[in-house]
């Protein structure tokens, strides 16, 4: 099974002695493509106006710490770098060794800057507001155009669970049957709670070493009740009611 996941705006500031290099990322053959985006980003940070830099980062006020060299920042696992709502509920550091290894190798995160990366891939702390352009460059289209064939091959023989927020579908279109989850509370689709339940779901999948369709369909998650399964073309959408 492979799980597609979103990054988060919130990130940890943990440092290390490891800097960006080819062995930090999955799809090493495409490192030069990835570096094209990273270099454009890094030059923009060094040379842009304070106003443009704040816009890129989604901030109201400027301070000198915003001008950094990405290549001098230390890298840690992506799954530890991101610490938004979903990642807090996953609580990676408190998983056992086997569950952590499951996450490391089976979760593909779609980063706004680095593109598709495994949970175990190494990235530095960075800022980039979702959907912002660098010199009018459409980053999600760039990664979709250049990485899709490699992702297709990576997912070829796998059961796929798509836990991405809708925006990150712009980075990659799934070409085969897959599963997704929708969460309902008081008769309405929830968004903020969805982030938490994606993290909870990911934790339960890792703890139970889920690898097949049947195992996924039979997974019991505390606080959720399966209402129905909707088949929409290649998507199997599991609709869950949040209870309690």
Q: Strands 224-232, 235-242: parallel, antiparallel or unpaired by DSSP? A: antiparallel
CA angle, 124 as apex, 102 and 91 as ends, to 5°?
40
Determine the pLDDT at residue 63: 86
126-169 pLDDT tens trace: 999 998 889 889 999 999 999 999 999 999 999 999 999 999 99
Q: Indicate the pLDDT class of residue 208, thresholds 50, 70 and 90.
A: very high
Q: Strands 115-118, 75-77: parallel, antiparallel or unpaired by DSSP? A: unpaired
Q: Which helix (H) or strand (E) element contains residue 187?
A: none
64-116 pLDDT tens trace: 888 999 999 999 999 999 999 999 999 999 999 999 999 999 999 999 999 99
CA angle, 160 as apex, 157 and 165 as ends, to 5°?
150
Environment class of 110 (CB within 10 Å of its CB; exposed 0-12, middle 13-18, buried 19+): buried
25-59 pLDDT tens trace: 999 999 999 999 999 999 999 999 999 999 988 88
Strand partners of residue 82:
11
Environment class of 145 (CB within 10 Å of its CB; exposed 0-12, middle 13-18, buried 19+): exposed
Residues 84, 195: contact at Cβ < 8 Å? yes
Residues 210, 156: contact at Cβ < 8 Å? no
The pTM assigned to this predicted structure is 0.95
Alpha helices (H) along 30-138: 31-47, 50-57, 78-81, 85-90, 97-106
Three-state secondary-structure class, residue 152: helix
Residues 125, 81: contact at Cβ < 8 Å? yes
| Residue bearing tokens 């500031």 | 13
CA angle, 25 as apex, 195 and 167 as ends, to 5°?
30
Strand partners of residue 3:
107, 161
For 5, 132, 198, the CA distances from 191, given in Å and listed in that order, are 15, 21, 11
DSSP E strands, the chain? 2-5, 75-77, 107-111, 115-118, 122-124, 160-162, 178-185, 188-189, 224-232, 235-242
């Amino acid at each position: 099974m492979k799980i597609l996941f979103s990054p988060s705006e919130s990130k940890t500031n943990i440092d290390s002695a490891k800097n960006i290099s080819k062995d930090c990322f999955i799809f090493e053959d495409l490192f030069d493509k990835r570096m094209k985006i990273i270099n454009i980003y890094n030059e923009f940070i060094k040379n842009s106006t304070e106003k443009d830099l704040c816009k890129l980062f989604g901030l109201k006020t400027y301070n000198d710490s915003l001008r950094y060299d990405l290549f001098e920042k230390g890298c840690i696992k992506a799954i530890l770098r991101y610490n938004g709502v979903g990642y807090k509920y996953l609580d990676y550091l408190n998983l056992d060794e086997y569950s952590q290894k499951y996450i490391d190798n089976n979760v593909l995160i779609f980063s706004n800057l680095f593109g598709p990366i495994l949970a175990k891939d190494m990235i530095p702390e960075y800022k980039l507001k979702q959907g912002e352009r660098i010199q009018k460059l459409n980053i999600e289209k760039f990664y979709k155009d250049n990485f899709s064939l490699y992702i297709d091959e990576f997912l070829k023989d796998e059961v796929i669970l798509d836990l991405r927020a809708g925006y990150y579908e712009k980075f990659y279109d799934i070409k085969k049957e897959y599963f997704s989850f929708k969460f309902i509370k008081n008769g309405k689709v929830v968004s903020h709670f969805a982030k938490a339940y994606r993290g909870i779901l990911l934790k339960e999948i890792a703890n139970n070493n889920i690898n097949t369709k049947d195992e996924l369909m039979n997974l019991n998650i505390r606080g959720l009740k399966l209402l129905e399964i909707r088949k929409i073309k290649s998507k199997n959408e599991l609709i869950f009611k949040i209870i309690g």
